[in-house]
Amino acid sequence: MTSAELTAALVQLDSRNPSLVPGAPGELQVARFLADLLESWQFRVELQEVVSGRFNLIARGGRSDPSAKSLMLNGHLDVVGVDGMTHSPFAADLADGNMYGRGSADMKSGVAAMCIAARNAIESGIDGEVIITAVIDEEYESLGTRALLASGLRADAAIITEPTRLALCPAHRGFVWARLDVRGRAAHGSRYDLGVDAITHAALIIAELDRIQRTTLPHRTHPLLGRGSLHASLIAGGTGLSTYPDLCTVEMERRTLPGETERTFLDEISAAMAMVRNAHPDLHVDVSITTSQRASDVSRDAPVMLEMVDALQAERLPARIEGMSAWTDAALLNEAGVPAICFGPGDIALAHSATEFVPIAEIDAATRVLGRFIRKWCNRKR
């Protein structure tokens, strides 16, 4: 079986995430398919139930020499919804050298490439252990990789085969979501002397945060990721045209660089509120952080990066090093002490899109590069 053939088989299995699409089947069918296949290739396979009916796949191969390096290959099995797609979502149709289907780029081609690469490397003989982790729920709360790490699973390095167009992506931004409940005072629209306009106060805070984005954030940069950003995502407030609104709720997202945290965004919000309060001393705001994920960053000189550069060059492919735009489970692995980078076939710009496809040539190239890397990495001594 080739990696392209395995990609087609995986795409044809509907694994829409039920947390995103009510009633969707989830990852179980594709996890069982991969478990049976990897067992037939002599991998030691475990299905780890994370939540009811939803299982991570953990498959181990190689000699497990304790003096040799181990490697985790990580990818997610869940996909997003299919509404509005321009082609059959689960047919894995081929056209012009591309394979079409939901999950073809994000990221069943990457899962297929890592499985075939691991099989090929093990057949050639390796001393270290390769651990394939095909996980649930990356598209929603990353429950799968969180469960792996909570169980104590670790390796000397990890490659997440998210779609990178075969670039090496050692870094990506994090994000913080904040909710601002801006309090006003309800009054008749004619009573400016009594009313406090919560919506206007919210707008003034947003304008101050936009000023911070335009004047401050451009001066904080990362060599691969550029600058951070923020935007207002959701806003609600008011009860009627002739009433001063007593509440306006704004939800905002801050995309963070390595080294920036929840505290970074809270400080920026506090600075914006202080500026507004100078002119509006009756400003009252309750601020809460609703969700946050750290950024991810691995040094270009890290062993996993240097070996992947060598593998790409040995396959006569460009060793492009880029920042990744989207958040991935690499951040969780890095935070747990496992140096993790992203490398895989397909374009992240096509993820979740109405027309999702992956070039067959990229699947094949990713498989060759990963196979070469595994053979060298898992024959190195610690």
- d(C-alpha 116, C-alpha 143), whole Å: 25
Is 347 considered catalytic here? Answer: no
Distance of alpha carbon 128 from alpha carbon 68, whole angstroms: 5
What is d(CA 108, CA 114) in angstroms, rounded to the nearest whole number?
10
- Which of 142, 149, 11 is closest to 76 using CA atoms? 142
Residue of 138, 139, 246, 268 marked active site: 138
Pairing of strands 168-172, 247-256: unpaired
Kindly state the tokens that stand for 297: 């960053």
Q: What is the DSSP letter of 73?
A: E
Distances (CA, A) of 2 to 74, 116, 133, 272, 299: 19, 7, 19, 55, 33
Region at 101 (left for phi over 0; alpha for psi -120 to 50; beta for the rest): left
- Any bridge partners for residue 232, and if so which? 252
Q: Which residues are bridge partners to 248 per DSSP?
A: 182, 237
Active site residue 268: no
Exactly one of 78, 197, 208, 329 is catalytic; name it. Answer: 78
For residue 177, give both structure tokens. 């979501």
As a whole number of angstroms, the distance between CA 371 and CA 358 comes to 20
Do 126 and 372 touch, CB atoms closer than 8 A?
no
Catalytic site residues? 78, 138
